[in-house]
Structure 1
Amino acid sequence: MKRVPLIVLSLLLSSVGLPSYAESLLQVYRLAQQNNPELRSAEAKQVEAAAGVSQARGALLPQLGFNANYLKFRQEHRTPEQTVPDPYHQYFELQGLPGASPKTVGGYSKNYGNQSSIDFTLTQSLFEVNKWYQLSAAQQRVQLQNIHYQAAQQKLMLDTATGYFDTLLAIDTLKRLTAEKTAKARKLHEIQQQSNVGVLPIKELYKAKSEYDLGVAAELMQQHQVENALEKLRELSGYYHKQLNGLESRDFNPSLPSGAIENWLKQSEQRNWGLLAARLEQRIALQQVRSAQAGHLPTLQLQAKATHGRNSGENLDKTRQVSGGVSLSLPLFSGGQTVAKIKAEQSTMVQASEALERRQREVIRMTHEAYNGIHSALRTSRAYQQAITSAQRELDAMDASFKVGMVTFIEVMEARAKLFEAKQRFSGARYDYFKHLLGLKAAAGQLSEQDLQAIDQLFNVATPTTPSPRVITPEGGSVAANPRVMSTPVCA
């Protein structure tokens, strides 16, 4: 029995349990939704903001504290001995009675014992305006993080779709360049044969060789562009994708977005997630200004304390004390800290206001660009669709003429290259249409998974992402280009 090589066995074992890779746009997005760090970070910020509300609210609720003390002591006291006469000695002498003998005081004394006490302290805020402003700001931060999460989701949808379409466009461009290189190789081969028999001058051979070399360089460069597009897509989803679903020409039936540009601008102003976040950040900055200004106001607190103590020394005693009252604090001078804090918060609010203005202008620009881009992509795609029809007719005519010897094979290959170029340009216009359409909905805050699913229904042609083009040599042979093949999805 032959032993399985170790490297083969390791490859087989490593492939077990690998997640299945996605091909459709919606599948790629859902992978990105599960693995994208920015989206996970937005979720964590939501939890952080919710915890901030609990912290701000806790400062307004009763504060109960417990304190216990235990102390052991030993006291030693030394004084000089003194004889103290009895204060009634003289009286007893006058009465003829024996008086008391003098007393001796002082000397050495000691005391051992321990002290213990338990305190319960209750504090309740009655009037602290800055804490209420802090609670309001914390609640608004929760809304802000929810908006940021929705914005992150829409951004991920848009980035995934853009990466998906850019990858398909890079593959289509590579196919076109491969077809052009093949035509140039055939042309070079025929010119070389004609030059060998003296039919064409040598300069035609050098010209054809230069065109072929440029075609090979362009193809190799485009292979690198395909790999870069795949890397960007992997950065979003966390996986390499073996093949993606492409778009069939006959399934492309675009339409203009419903509504005028004014309606889209109004929706963008009302529902754009980035704009909503900028407005909320401005309100939070205003709350911070008010909280800083409250540093000049007095604060009022209710305080209550219960103490139980015990002393087990020479003088055994127990104490119990309950106290309560209201504490009023009025800040008079804090070294200018409150004034400086107010100025800092006002500066932050100005920054938030300017950021809001910048975001409004940006949203208007994005809406206009997406809306105009849809119209431009539609006109361009229709023009290239007509160019495809013309190029196809030209190629059919060339094929018919070649069969009867009226044109050369070189002219046929050049006509075929024109057809590939028209198809590649048409693909780019189609992808631009979808990108602008999704961008318009994202600007208006309407982008959702349903939009990706609707586009997915049109992309139903399996397109390998790792083509292995053959480099055609002038002699008519072929050599494998051997690009880097990512045949197995690997977790990032």
Structure 2
Amino acid sequence: MKDKLPLLSTLLFGAFLLINNLLFSQELDLKSYLDLVKKSNIDLKLSANQVLVSKQETKIARSALLPDVSINGFYQRDFNRNFLFINDFDGGLTRLRTNFNNSVNANAVLNQTLFDLSVFSAIKVVKLTEEISKLNDSHLTNEISTQASSLYWQAIFTKESIKVLVENSSLAKDQLAQIKKLHEKGLASDLQLQQAEVFYKKTLPTLKNAENQFKKLLNDLKILADIPLIEDIVLTEDLESIKLNGLINSSESDLETQPQLQVLKKEVEIANKQISIDKKFWYPKLNLAATYNYGAQANNFNFNDNSNKLFFLQLGVSMPIFSGGRNRAKISKAVIEEETARFNLAKTRQNLLNQLQTAENNYNNAIANIQTHKETILLNENEIEIFKKQLSLGVVTTIEFKESRLRLTQSKQELLNAYLDLHIAQLQIIRITGQKN
């Protein structure tokens, strides 16, 4: 009984680990994983914070149109007495005190901009900057979603490749078993047996490398979604579940919703606004100021009998006369920057259109390759079944069986590659056209 206790404890502990592993593993289809990335990705959180900052900057700029009100006040206690001495006509001396023990002073000032074209233009620029930050956030979300989806499908591809490599290794192992039987009966030579052993062993490193690559891809997926590396995730999508929609063709108009292009368009607008701001440098500026001042002095804190109150309005106008050529240079610089922004927009549009055409070609080629590889696999599977029967009879050599096995494995890998190419091409089309993942 005592000998059985350690074994029972080990079994219970192993069962606990198995149940714990199942409870804490996440099953993630592509949509669930992308939702997790959009929620938890650190780069996207930083981008969202930048959007919030740009909103506050817009509020700061708009505050220039609102009145600026300030209040100041102070209390002063004099510990020394100051006197004014006056000579009387009769030769006497009169002494008059010139300060009080306590004095207070308070003032309130209101400043209001009435007319300043540069302020209005600056507010428009900041508003455009806020829109750019939102578009940048949308662009980053698009890019990271594409990256996450690509990694996801690469992991699924590697997972499916492992199944193919396991099947390949299993076929090589079956071949070895068949040759051993034939060798025992004297129907296979020592060389054929050695060849079968070598062919089987050669399948193991490739399989191990694929398993290691799959683990690395899982870790990359966890990092992108900010999932702890010790947590287990299970990917549930099927690589071949994608719909084959046939050939597709896009046009330049499909790029209008692309966030990157919209950002560049906004930058052109900002450059134009900057030119407008610099040209308005010579316009007059109108300002209104309202001031209220209260001052009082007393010895016994009774300030009502000795106080002054002052309230006035001030309307101010200012207009620059000469800037030493500085503003003219600023206008020239703004014009150059506006032209540069237009060049960047045209260049980016051209690059995106080129990328879109490449992605479409890859998509269309992948569809054509999928059908070809499916037909080839059927032929290879029929061939391998025939070779299996012939191998059991000793008709086929180990080399011939190996070649047929490799052709089947290669065809299945090529089919998986074609499906992966199709997924990646579709993701690129979504990214380039600015569609939502």
Fold in common (TM above 0.5): yes
Match of 1:281 among 267, 290, 310: 267
**Is contact 1:169-1:424 (8 Å) kept?**
no
Find the counterpart in structure 2 of residue 243 from structure 1.
234
Match of 1:115 among 99, 103, 107: 103
Find the counterpart in structure 2 of residue 56 from structure 1.
61
Following superposition, the deviation at residue 381 of structure 1 comes to: 0.9
1:86-485 map, 5 Å: 86=89, 102-105=90-93, 111-183=99-171, 190=179, 215-239=203-227, 241-247=232-238, 254-256=244-246, 260-262=249-251, 265-268=252-255, 270-312=256-298, 317-333=306-322, 338=327, 342=331, 345-346=334-335, 348-408=337-397, 411-412=400-401, 414-448=403-437
For the pair 1:41 / 2:46, whether they are aligned, the reply is yes
State the alpha-carbon separation in 1 of the partners of residues 226 and 27 from structure 2: 11
**Is contact 1:21-1:241 (8 Å) kept?**
yes
**CA spacing shift, 1:18–1:319, aligned 2, 3 Å:** farther
State the alpha-carbon separation in 1 of the partners of residues 196 and 47 from structure 2: 56
Amino acid at match of 1:274: Q
What RMSD in Å do the two structures reach over aligned CA positions? 3.9
Find the counterpart in structure 1 of residue 26 from structure 2.
21
What whole-Å deviation, never above 9, does each CA across 1:348-406 have from its counterpart, x for those lacking one? 44543343233212210221112111111011111111111111111122233335443
**CA spacing shift, 1:76–1:39, aligned 2, 3 Å:** same
Q: The residue matched to 1:163 in structure 2 has which SS?
A: helix
Between the two proteins, the alignment pairs up a number of residues equal to 420
Find the counterpart in structure 2 of residue 95 from structure 1.
none
**CA spacing shift, 1:242–1:308, aligned 2, 3 Å:** closer
**Is contact 2:242-2:423 (8 Å) kept?**
no
Whose helix fraction is larger, Structure 1's or Structure 2's?
A: 2
**CA spacing shift, 1:19–1:291, aligned 2, 3 Å:** farther
Structure 1 unpaired stretches of 5+: 87-101, 449-492
Q: The residue matched to 2:28 in structure 1 has which SS?
A: coil
**CA spacing shift, 1:210–1:293, aligned 2, 3 Å:** farther
State the alpha-carbon separation in 1 of the partners of residues 431 and 98 from structure 2: 86
State the alpha-carbon separation in 1 of the partners of residues 85 and 242 from structure 2: 115
TM-score scaled by length of structure 2: 0.81
**Is contact 2:239-2:416 (8 Å) kept?**
no
Following superposition, the deviation at residue 57 of structure 1 comes to: 1.0
TM-score scaled by length of structure 1: 0.73
**CA spacing shift, 1:16–1:414, aligned 2, 3 Å:** closer
What whole-Å deviation, never above 9, does each CA across 1:243-273 have from its counterpart, x for those lacking one? 3224375x66512255x433xx2211x2212
**CA spacing shift, 1:304–1:15, aligned 2, 3 Å:** farther
Following superposition, the deviation at residue 279 of structure 1 comes to: 0.8
Following superposition, the deviation at residue 45 of structure 1 comes to: 2.3
For the pair 1:68 / 2:70, whether they are aligned, the reply is no
**CA spacing shift, 1:80–1:385, aligned 2, 3 Å:** closer
